Amino acid sequence: MFRPAAVEDSIVHIQSLSKIYFVNQQEAGAKATVHGIFRRKKTPVQAVDEISFNMAPGEIVGFLGPNGAGKTTTLKMLSGLLYPTSGTVTVLGHIPWKREKTFLRQITLVMGQRNQLVWDIPAIHSFELNRVIYRIPPDDYQSILKELTDLLELGPLLTKPVRNLSLGERMKCEIAAALLHRPQVVFLDEPTIGLDVTMQRRIRSFIAEYNKRFGATVLMTSHYMADVEALCKRVVVIHHGRLLFDGELALLLQRFTSHKTIIIQLSECQADLKVYGEVLACEDGRYTLRVPKAETARITERLLADLPVVDLLVEDPPIEEVIDRAFTEWNK
Amino acid sequence: MNYLRLIGVFFRVNIAGELAYRINFLFSFFESVMGLGFTLAGMAIIFSYTDSLNGWRPEEILALVGVYSLIGGVIRVAILPGMQQLTESVRDGTFDFTLTKPEDAQLIATFSRVAVWKIIDIFLGLVILIIALARMGSVIGGVQAVEFLGMLLTGSVIVYSFFLILATLAFWLVRVENILTIFLSVYHAGRWPLSLYPGWLRYGLIFVIPVAFATTIPVEALTSRLNWVTLLAAFIAAAVLFIVSRAFWKFGLRHYSGASA
């Protein structure tokens, strides 16, 4: 059973953290646009709403939630980029937004959608820059560079201009650049976004290895269920800025997966399958049905007996759906 | 010490970046030579009608053109690119990476981008300055030389601080590239001695957009026109503006951290 880390031995400690943004609203239409130049309507948006959780040393925690849930905002507060509206955070005993150098030397932030490597030149130059910025002693630098090069298979990539690398190759270099100073706390915001399955797997196993080798504490967001399943025993789920769940991933799936998806291939979309379950879609005779988990076996059996089924597939609902469901449950 | 090392590495990285586009050096070279050529041609036309412009002799104006090109080079090499990069990175969010670094963010923002090829402007400026000095025939004393170098330094600091203040506005306004370009246009006014301009413009070039500190005043030091009041004022202005710009930058950072998405 999952036990939350005690405050005193936790690396990351978050208590009642909130962030409210004031967003400029821009309305459509010429008149509204002209008006908007002079006076803008500021609307408060509660991005993070009273969330609390702790992380133990060496833990990898999956930070889940749909787009706009407040994950990136939270990561930015944890890495010192944003001031919270209220609440307290300590990471390695520091208050992140004070941005003390001793704190910044021990953490890193990787954002899958943003690059820090200089575009026109080989990544090794950007590495060199980070070496000086983080004041990494030459010997340490050589050994960590070699280690990262081996683990991520960077070899020939380091001397090619970054703009000539594929997305996956670039991401590997980005991750290496962010880890040269051997941070103890690693914040990963969608590190595998847009990568193909092979590259996702490579990055995933690297994160696991880095965590094991250096005992680093990792908080990562991802929309890919496979990332979360492979790396995170524990997940924290937020939605509309509020914490929905904090505990073992298995428990989350078990609790909120009340349905399964059955996909069957028929010759065309003529049949009426409502009696078997909720029809989510049909395309070229390929039906997607949502059925209660407990009845999956019985309904599958009936489908096969009643219909000329060419192909049949039973799937767990995607993580997004599970989270969505968790949120609906929470609201009740 | 680490600051100097860091600036050195930034230069190395930028040279590597520019070497990827060697042909750009040629364009850059022609741009510099043509810009300077037109300035010199304008000067030549004016001095074909007169020997002295409001008390300034041709070789003194030539020295002014040299300083104008020199400081213009400093702006284009080391000030403008960093400030443009700053506003870009605020807009696309990569400024976040600067803030997670355990080093002064202003230092990183200033030197992360330098336009190495534009060093040609500094070089051409020096050549013209040397020609002008040779033509003046007067011996430059040690005091004058020190004053001149001091005024070049204060002028650069003032221009840098002013740019930093403008670029810091990006934390609120996001897109400020045009403000930076406007400053560059006003800088063109520095090609001529301040005393040629009408009073309101003269004050404007000192107090509103302090271009005069970077061009006319260093040359005044060289041509024995500088009085100690101006000298002192320039030093104080540089110190005050630098402190104010840094305070404003820090204020901007706090706003960015409080509001950015």
* For residues A43-55, average pLDDT: 93
* Residue A95, number of CB atoms within 10 A of its CB: 13
User: Quick one: pLDDT at residue A1?
Assistant: 42
Whole-number Å distance between alpha carbons of A158 and A231: 27
pLDDT by residue (tens digit) across A95-123? 999 999 999 999 999 998 888 998 889 99
Tell whether A153 and A211 lie within a shared domain: yes
Q: Tell me what the pLDDT averaged over chain A comes to.
A: 88
User: Quick one: pLDDT at residue A27?
Assistant: 66
In the block, tokens 């070497």 appear at: B19
| Residue A9 domain flag | no
- Testing the interface with A: which of B2, B101, B260 to mutate, by most A Cβ within 10 A? B101
Task: Tell me the β-bridge partners of B109.
Answer: none
| Residue A321 domain flag | no
Tell whether A181 and A149 lie within a shared domain: yes
Residue of B nearest to A174 (CA): B97
| Residue A64 domain flag | yes
Q: Which of B64, B14, B45, B50 is nearest to B190 (CA)?
A: B64
pLDDT at A48 over 70: yes
**Percent of chain A at pLDDT above 90?**
56
* B257/A83 touch (CB, cutoff 8 Å), yes or no: yes
Domains in chain B, number: 1
Whole-number Å distance between alpha carbons of A2 and A245: 12
pLDDT at A220 over 50: yes
User: Quick one: pLDDT at residue A69?
Assistant: 87
| Residue A15 domain flag | no
User: Quick one: pLDDT at residue B143?
Assistant: 87
* For residues B144-169, average pLDDT: 94
Tell whether A250 and A107 lie within a shared domain: yes
Whole-number Å distance between alpha carbons of B126 and B133: 10
In the block, tokens 């009426």 appear at: A272
pLDDT by residue (tens digit) across A14-34? 999 999 988 776 667 777 666
From B110's Cα to the closest Cα of chain A, the distance in A is 14
Question: Which residue has better confidence, A7 or A55?
Answer: A55
User: Quick one: pLDDT at residue B130?
Assistant: 93
Tell whether A176 and A196 lie within a shared domain: yes
Q: Which of B261, B255, B249 is nearest to B86 (CA)?
A: B249
- Are A277 and A290 spatial neighbours (Cβ–Cβ below 8 Å)? yes
Domain that residue A268 falls in? 259-315
* Residue B180, number of CB atoms within 10 A of its CB: 19
From A47's Cα to the closest Cα of chain B, the distance in A is 9
Q: B252: pLDDT confidence band, cut at 50, 70 and 90?
A: very high
CB pairs under 8 A between A and B: 79
Tell whether A224 and A291 lie within a shared domain: no
Tell whether A244 and A285 lie within a shared domain: no
Instruction: Name which of A105, A121, A126 is nearest B20 (Cβ-Cβ).
Output: A121
Whole-number Å distance between alpha carbons of A38 and A35: 6
Tell whether A106 and A142 lie within a shared domain: yes
| Residue A299 domain flag | yes
Q: Tell me what the pLDDT averaged over chain B comes to.
A: 91
Q: Which residues of A189-219 are buried (b: 16+ CB within 10 A; e: fewer)?
A: bbbbbebeeebbebbbebbeebbeebebbbb
For residue A44, list chain B residues with Cβ-Cβ distance below 8 A: none
Tell whether A309 and A191 lie within a shared domain: no
Tell whether A165 and A105 lie within a shared domain: yes
- Are B147 and B46 spatial neighbours (Cβ–Cβ below 8 Å)? no
Give me the helices (H) in chain A, please: 30-38, 71-78, 101-104, 123-133, 138-152, 167-179, 197-214, 225-231, 249-256, 296-306, 319-331
Q: Output the CA torsion sign for A61, A67, A73, A79.
A: positive
pLDDT by residue (tens digit) across A118-137? 888 999 999 999 999 999 99
- Are A180 and A211 spatial neighbours (Cβ–Cβ below 8 Å)? no
Q: Where on the phi/psi map is residue B224: left (φ > 0), alpha (ψ -120 to 50), or beta? A: left
pLDDT at A40 over 80: no
ipTM above 0.95 for this complex: no
* B261/A73 touch (CB, cutoff 8 Å), yes or no: yes
Whole-number Å distance between alpha carbons of A299 and A301: 5
Tell whether A162 and A286 lie within a shared domain: no
- Reported for A20-28, long-range contacts at CB under 8 A and 24+ positions apart, including other chains, are A20/A44, A20/A45, A20/A46, A20/A47, A20/A85, A21/A45, A21/A47, A21/A73, A21/B259, A21/B261, A22/B259, A23/B261
Domain that residue B122 falls in? 2-259
- Are A89 and A14 spatial neighbours (Cβ–Cβ below 8 Å)? yes
- Are B191 and B68 spatial neighbours (Cβ–Cβ below 8 Å)? yes
Here the tokens at position B138 are 């007067």
HEC sequence for chain B:
CHHHHHHHHHHHHHHHHHHCCCHHHHHHHHHHHHHHHHHHHHHHHHHCCCCCECCECHHHHHHHHHHHHHHHHHHHHHHHHHHHHHHHHHHHCCHHHHHCCCCCHHHHHHHCCCCHHHHHHHHHHHHHHHHHHHHHCCCCCHHHHHHHHHHHHHHHHHHHHHHHHHHHCHHHHCCCHHHHHHHHHHHHHHHCCHHHCCHHHHHHHHHHCCCHHHCHHHHHHHCCCCCHHHHHHHHHHHHHHHHHHHHHHHHHHHHHHHHCC
CATH of the domain at A268: 3.30.70
For residue A115, list chain B residues with Cβ-Cβ distance below 8 A: 94
pLDDT at A87 over 60: yes
Whole-number Å distance between alpha carbons of A227 and A218: 13
Here the tokens at position B227 are 């009085």
Here the tokens at position A166 are 């594929």
Instruction: Name which of A79, A125, A161 is nearest B13 (Cβ-Cβ).
Output: A125
Packing angle, helices B58-74 and B119-136, rounded to 10: 160
For residue A80, list chain B residues with Cβ-Cβ distance below 8 A: 99-100
List, in order, residues 6 or more apart from A248 with CB less than 8 Å away.
A1, A2, A233, A234, A235
Task: Tell me the β-bridge partners of A282.
Answer: A287
Question: Which residue has better confidence, B78 or B25?
Answer: B78
Instruction: Tell me A157's DSSP state.
Output: G
| A18 near B CB under 8 A | no
Instruction: Tell me A162's DSSP state.
Output: G
User: Quick one: pLDDT at residue B179?
Assistant: 87
Residue of A nearest to B100 (CA): A104
In the block, tokens 């503006």 appear at: B241
| Residue A191 domain flag | yes
Using the 3D structure, point to which of A203, A229, A254 is the last residue of a domain: A254
From B174's Cα to the closest Cα of chain A, the distance in A is 13
What are φ and ψ of residue A307, in 5° steps?
-120, 155
Torsion from C-alpha of A208, A211, A213, A214, nearest 10 degrees: 160
Domains in chain A, number: 2
Whole-number Å distance between alpha carbons of B80 and B74: 9
| A120 near B CB under 8 A | yes
pLDDT at B187 over 50: yes
| Residue A46 domain flag | no
* A21/B103 touch (CB, cutoff 8 Å), yes or no: no
pLDDT at B260 over 70: no
* B102/A120 touch (CB, cutoff 8 Å), yes or no: no
Tell whether A279 and A240 lie within a shared domain: no
| Residue A41 domain flag | no
Within its chain, how far is the Cα of B99 from the centroid?
A: 26
Here the tokens at position A187 are 């914040």
Whole-number Å distance between alpha carbons of A285 and A271: 9
Task: Tell me the β-bridge partners of A64.
Answer: A237
Instruction: Name which of B2, B96, B102 is nearest A105 (Cβ-Cβ).
Output: B102
- Are B192 and B182 spatial neighbours (Cβ–Cβ below 8 Å)? no
Tell whether A123 and A268 lie within a shared domain: no
- Are A234 and A2 spatial neighbours (Cβ–Cβ below 8 Å)? yes
CATH of the domain at A129: 3.40.50.300
